[in-house]
Amino acid sequence: MENFMPNFLKKRAFLTPDRPAVYFQNEMITFKELYERSYTVAGQMQGMGIQKKDFAGVLLKNHLDSVVVLFALQLLGARAVILNNRLTPNEIVWQLEDSGAAFFILDDSFTEIESVVNERLHHINTTTMKKLFASDSVTPAIQEEISLGDICTIMYTSGTTGYPKGVIQTFGNHWWSATGSALNLGITDGDCWLCSVPLFHISGFSILMRGIIYGMPIVLHERFDVEKIIQTIQEKRVTIMSVVSTMLTQIVDALEEQRLPGYFRCMLLGGGPAPLPLLQSCQKKEIPVFQTYGMTETASQIVTLAPEYCLTKLGSAGKPLFPSQIKIVREDEAEAQAGEVGEIMVKGPNITPGYLNRPQATKETIRNGWLNTGDVGYLDEEGFLYVLDRRSDLIISGGENIYPAEVEAVLLSHPEIIDAGVTGIEDAKWGQVPAAFIVKKADSKVSVEGIEKYCVKQLAKYKVPKYIFFTEELPRNAAKKLLRRTLREWIREGRFST
């Protein structure tokens, strides 16, 4: 049976019209104003031909106008293909074609992309936001209700392990994600969520959806600026903020002897592994960190560590949220025991129904409702999840498993190392051995031997990199995630001799 709900934004504007919805720069708009603006833009979109169920690519910055564009599409029941604005023109063209988008709306500043798309994708009706906002508005056909199974957004995975795949996110996925988060963190009067992560990622977009569903204001920042963040937390009485570890590191450093105000109750940390030294410094500075694990396919966090466990379960991503389940599966497909490592499988109403136009990939990834995350990890006796690494990056050396993330974390704790990436190199004796690519500080004199000695003190011998290469920069994708497959290509191409 299909489940219907009222249009999220329209319902919110009806329930609490005068509450603040979004703070952006010096502006504040209420839910009623956000609805009215989105309504007008929905009319303008309809004027350009956008209708229910159409796919519209959007290339946006973190800006109030972008929020309006995203909700205008929802009002029409059109599907937003939300593109990462750090992609190259070629990647944008590829994702637009792959998704079958018939429309493309982009921020005025992306002029190069606009001309490339106009030149190469004649079938797509492209407009800048400025042109869209200046066009004639017709009376829009607002979707008074939505089916929870309807597609709301398409978001591409980061492309860390291979080609990015378009993830279908339904209204139900976003609804259950927001609900699961609320059942975990609670919603208190006076909550205010700071968003300085990109709106084009599920981390940022999910904040928008929570704002509407909870009736909670969000503060939107164009980008992460640590001084501005600390100031805003005080000025706007921010209670919750989403961060990735590089942001949190900057916050910890910038705070020095200062402390965040008492009403600040949650630093939601996700996107990748959390280095232990960072978690320890947060404890010292009384920053309430909630470690989380999630992915584009789970419409944001699916596993979160409640704060009462942050001391005893340091390094764990926590337990699955109320609506969701996890299990660990061994290579022989049997369910793993506590402490046994295997692939992390997740299930729940926040999980994507599949990849857009990729029935084969969908079939391989989701079976009986369980999504194979491609990550490996284990559950402890009490059911807390520990994420180790990606399955495809695992190094097997003399029959022992090595998780590159563990070795990288040790290398990164070296005071003269700025960045580190680890992958396996074929080896006649051991099958594979670990190799490290290292970016050291400009003035650093640290040697290969020095790094080896440092590693030997902290890692079992088989985990210590057998090759250490210095490089200027590591390959990262538009989401800033390390591309270990490119490291493997570097080795295959002989760019670093062994």
481 binds ligand ATP (CB under 6 A): yes
In the complex, least distance from residue 373 CB atom to ligand ATP, rounded to whole angstroms:
5
Q: Which residue has the tokens 């699916």?
A: 302
For residue 153, give the 3-state DSSP assignment.
strand
193 binds, among ligand ATP, Mg ion, none (CB under 5 to 8 A by kind): none
Nearer to Mg ion, 149 or 162 (CB): 162
> In this structure, are strands 20-24 and 218-220 parallel, antiparallel, or unpaired?
parallel
Nearer to ligand ATP, 64 or 299 (CB): 299
Which residue, judged by CB position, is nearest to Mg ion in the bound state?
157
Nearer to ligand ATP, 273 or 434 (CB): 273
387 binds, among Mg ion, ligand ATP, none (CB under 5 to 8 A by kind): ligand ATP
479 binds ligand ATP (CB under 6 A): yes
Size of the site for ligand ATP (CB under 6 A): 23
> Rounded to whole angstroms, how far apart are CA atoms 209 and 276?
31
85 contacts 199 by C-beta, under 8 angstroms: no
Interacting positions 234-273 with ligand ATP (CB under 6 A): 270-273
User: Exposed, middle or buried by CB within 10 Å (0-12, 13-18, 19+), for 154?
Assistant: buried
Among 209, 295, 321, 345, binds ligand ATP (CB under 6 A): 295
Nearer to ligand ATP, 114 or 343 (CB): 343
Nearer to ligand ATP, 96 or 387 (CB): 387
In the complex, least distance from residue 295 CB atom to Mg ion, rounded to whole angstroms:
5
292 binds Mg ion (CB under 5 A): no
For residue 487, give the 3-state DSSP assignment.
helix
Among 237, 285, 390, 391, binds ligand ATP (CB under 6 A): 390
Interacting positions 147-186 with ligand ATP (CB under 6 A): 157-162, 164
273 binds, among Mg ion, ligand ATP, none (CB under 5 to 8 A by kind): ligand ATP
> In this structure, are strands 300-304 and 289-295 parallel, antiparallel, or unpaired?
antiparallel
Nearer to ligand ATP, 128 or 160 (CB): 160
CB neighbours of residue 46 within 10 Å: 21
What secondary structure letter does DSSP report for 237? T
Candidate ranges 35-43, 100-108, 182-190, 287-295; the one touching ligand ATP (CB under 6 A) = 287-295
> Rounded to whole angstroms, how far apart are CA atoms 216 and 303?
22
296 binds ligand ATP (CB under 6 A): yes
169 binds Mg ion (CB under 5 A): no
Phi-psi region of 357 (alpha: psi -120 to 50; beta: other; left: phi over 0): left
Candidate ranges 27-35, 116-124, 289-297, 406-414; the one touching ligand ATP (CB under 6 A) = 289-297
293 binds, among Mg ion, ligand ATP, none (CB under 5 to 8 A by kind): ligand ATP
> Rounded to whole angstroms, how far apart are CA atoms 269 and 394?
24
Closest listed residue to residue 42, CA positions, set 6, 74, 7 = 74
317 binds ligand ATP (CB under 6 A): yes
Nearer to ligand ATP, 65 or 91 (CB): 91
Nearer to Mg ion, 211 or 354 (CB): 354
84 binds Mg ion (CB under 5 A): no
Nearer to ligand ATP, 217 or 424 (CB): 424
Q: Which residue has the tokens 């003035």?
A: 443
CA-CA-CA-CA dihedral for 252, 255, 256, 258, to nearest 10: -130
> In this structure, are strands 125-128 and 467-470 parallel, antiparallel, or unpaired?
unpaired
Tokens of 256: 């020095």
Q: Which residues pair with 437 in a beta bridge?
A: 421, 469
481 binds, among ligand ATP, Mg ion, none (CB under 5 to 8 A by kind): ligand ATP
Size of the site for Mg ion (CB under 5 A): 1
CB neighbours of residue 273 within 10 Å: 18
Interacting positions 208-227 with Mg ion (CB under 5 A): none
Alpha helices in 49-195 (DSSP H): 64-76, 89-99, 111-120, 129-134, 171-185
Q: How far apart are the first and last CA of the chain?
A: 60
Among 80, 151, 387, 464, binds ligand ATP (CB under 6 A): 387
Interacting positions 129-168 with Mg ion (CB under 5 A): 157
Q: What are phi and psi of 193, to 5 degrees?
A: -105, 125
> Rounded to whole angstroms, how far apart are CA atoms 359 and 361?
6
For 2-96, strand residue ranges (E) read: 4-6, 20-24, 27-30, 55-59, 79-83
Closest listed residue to residue 293, CA positions, set 362, 343, 344 = 344
Nearer to Mg ion, 202 or 243 (CB): 202
Nearer to Mg ion, 165 or 221 (CB): 165
Among 8, 175, 293, 378, binds ligand ATP (CB under 6 A): 293
- The residue ranges that bind Mg ion (CB under 5 A) are 157
- The residue ranges that bind ligand ATP (CB under 6 A) are 157-162, 164, 270-273, 291, 293-296, 317, 373, 375, 387, 390, 479, 481
